[in-house]
Amino acid sequence: MELTLVLDTNAYSDWRRAGRWHGRIALANRIILPATVIGELHHGFRKGAKFEENTRKLREFLTEPQVSVHPVTTRTAEIYGEFVVHLQRHGTPIPTNDIWIAAAAHECQGRLVSSDDHFQYLPQVDREEE
């Protein structure tokens, strides 16, 4: 069975910083970073003291054969709209970027890796449990 993981920003950061999720990441056939995650990472890198080191590590990671970036597509935007309406109807808002990340995970049929509990409000998204 093929394992496709979609990393949220905190999953990538936790993996780099403390090795969290390492076992699951090592087993994955495909690892996807949504473009939104790349943007959030670069934002964090620019605020930190290790900008060049963090940028280099991310670039190296993105060259791994099983790793790819998921762009925002028209379908991603459609799913985003569906998710926003779902969240509004249920009175369970979550951060906008996380809705985009969830939409990307749903679109590519991957399992979302995140330590954020609010993704539970989107049952349409498969989540990876630690």
- Domains of the chain plus CATH, in order, are 4-121 (3.40.50.1010)
The whole-number pLDDT of residue 126 equals: 97
How high is the mean pLDDT of the chain?
96
Q: What is the pLDDT of residues 91-101, one digit of tens each?
A: 999 999 999 99
Q: What type of residue is 40?
A: E
Q: Helix, strand or coil for residue 91?
A: coil
Task: Tell me the chain's radius of gyration from C-alpha atoms.
Answer: 14
pLDDT of 130 above 70: no
Handedness of CA 54, 56, 57, 61 (dihedral sign): positive
- Structure tokens belonging to residue 31: 């690892």
Q: What is the pLDDT of residues 19-75, one digit of tens each?
A: 999 999 999 999 999 999 999 999 999 999 999 999 999 999 999 999 999 999 999
Q: Helix, strand or coil for residue 36?
A: helix
| Buried-state track 49-86, b at ≥16 Cβ within 10 A, e below 16 | eeeeebeeebeeeeeeeebeebeeeeebeebbeebeee
The whole-number pLDDT of residue 22 equals: 93
Q: What is the DSSP letter of 66?
A: T
The whole-number pLDDT of residue 129 equals: 76
pLDDT of 79 above 80: yes
Q: Nearest-CA neighbor of 25 among 66, 54, 56?
A: 66
Where residue 1 falls among pLDDT bands split at 50, 70, 90? confident
Are residues 50 and 24 in contact, defined by beta-carbon separation less than 8 angstroms? no
